Chain A
Amino acid sequence: MKAWKFEDNINTDLITPGRYNMTTDETQLGKIAFIEYRPEFSKNVKKGDYIIAGKNFGCGSSREHAPVALKAAGVSAVIAKSFARIFFRNCINVGLPIFICNQTELIDDGDIIQTNINENIIVNETKKISIPILSPPEFIQKIMLSGGLIEFLRRDSYV
């Protein structure tokens, strides 16, 4: 699916501006992702598309509206060089897959890509190359595999 490329330090005010995230409705939030910063994203993003970014993606406010909006917009995963820590936790908790990739410069806006989690790679079909991704530590994978924190705590607990 299509890659939407973003730069370093994308903050949660850019993803879901404070004035628009006055709702908990996921469908509604899905429509406001990047509404002012990159309006063509909110109009044209398709189910399964990827966000590719540089360093410190998701910095700023702890608002969970940001990952919920991206997930509801159809984003299948966010792949970045690094994530701000609250955003990283929020993605795990709400079930939006995220991957760390040190070579996101090998993916351009509009490239067609696929992730292969079993082999820890992204396949850039446009450029015909494979790019390694880092899988999260075991403790986090356990929560991710449960489908997020809520499912994890419904079935399981910390101890």
Chain B
Amino acid sequence: MSQTITEKILAHVSNKKEVFPGDYVVSDIDWIMFHDSTGPLTIKGFEDIGKRICNKEKIVTFFDHFYPAPNIEAAKLHQISRRFIDLQGLNNHHTDGICHQILAEKYVKPGNVVVGADSHTCTLGALGSFATGLGSTDIAGVMATGKCWFKVPDNMKIHYTNKLKKGVYAKDVILKTAGLIGSEGADYFAIEFSGDYIKSSSISERLTMCNMAVELGAKNGIIEPDEKTLEFTGNQGLFFKSDYNASYEKEFSIDVSQFGPQIACPNSVDNVKPVEEVAGTPIDQAFIGTCTNGRLDDIEIVARILKSYKVKQSTRLIVIPASMNVYLRAFQKGYIQIISSAGGIISSPSCGPCIGRHNGVLADGEVCISTQNRNFNGRMGSPKSMIYLSSPASAAASAITGEITDPRDYL
């Protein structure tokens, strides 16, 4: 029987010849992740199971959601995780960036199965791995057994044809997709991103696309590995590809040359409009960063736009590189200097204000344009604040004018 890439990986890791949507499989796991926000509940669950860790070298831990600690409660949660990490001798511990970014930079290879106590673990599908988010107790179970159960998902394929127009980026493509398919349109599906545009896209763009698979409800997003994946991952891993005649429950085709910059309006990721329709909406803050858009190419665009401009006095621009590696490279290339000189605030690599805990929390009535992946009510602070989602280019242009702005006027 013909199989999709997701089916092939799940069959391989559960020692089966083939699997079908709806099957339950028990899979071996290559990488297990928890972070400072989901770690304490994972630790509690793990201690309740009362078994030993069976795969220390496969566990990767992070302090990224509120690091360095902004308050006493956060510091106490860090203490809980730090004690456990030290006691258990977990040596893959990171404070140098966002979990999904570091997993991509240093750990995950094509064909791996990756589970993390974070919904955006699906980001790693960009490298041809099966990667999905779980809750803390599930991760505790994987730490104790090395295994996890999965229901084999149905398959959705989205073909992206043609080339992007100037001022349009991967983020606009995935926002456009969210607008078309809806925030529950891919519930329980594996989404395979494919087509000319995906083939020509960079690893960073692919990470942006797969990052938001969960915003459509998907179990995982995945892109077939190719030469770029090979180069990025140091020529390691298993290169699974979908059979040409594999069957998909749902298929869509999107011509990426047919739209401009997109904005997801409050309070839902699928409330997507062309930038022209919301241009002029006053903003208080622009935030560029996160696991969706905090990579070197994102920061390069911001620096390019800000080079001859200043951030408007009444507006805050916050830029947070997704990892220390990105930070240092952005510094070497002079992007950090340009953004700082233009009035932008640079913070140390972390999730930043995306979850409203530090580094740019919003007050009642405030409006933020952000490159993050969620604009749920109250996510960045006050439930009376509002979040618009965009590409780094749109957010940077908006920081100059203090209102939502079409980036094409600044490129």
Contact = CB atoms under 8 A, between A and B. Distances in A.
B135 to A, nearest CB: 4
A56 B51 CA distance: 34
19 contacts: A13-B377, A14-B377, A18-B37, A19-B357, A55-B184, A56-B183, A61-B119, A62-B121, A64-B117, A82-B187, A84-B217, A90-B135, A90-B136, A93-B45, A94-B135, A149-B141, A150-B45, A150-B48, A159-B26
Interface string B368-400: 000000101111010100000000000000000
Contacts of B80: 24
A17 B361 CA distance: 13
Interface residues of B, number: 52
Interface string A45-73: 00000000001100111111101100000
A148 interface: yes
B49 A9 contact: no
Given A13-B378, A153-B49, A64 B137 contact: yes
Nearest to B379: A13
Interface string B28-54: 000000000110110011001111000
B269 to A, nearest CB: 9
Interface of A: 8-9, 11, 13-14, 17-19, 22-24, 36-37, 55-56, 59-65, 67-68, 82, 84-86, 89-90, 93-94, 137, 139, 148-150, 153-154, 157-159
A23 B237 CA distance: 38
A13 B138 CA distance: 20
B231 interface: no
Nearest to B65: A18
A9 B377 contact: no
B13 to A, nearest CB: 13
A148 B117 contact: no
B103 to A, nearest CB: 15
Interface in B51-69: 51
B45 A36 contact: no
B268 interface: yes
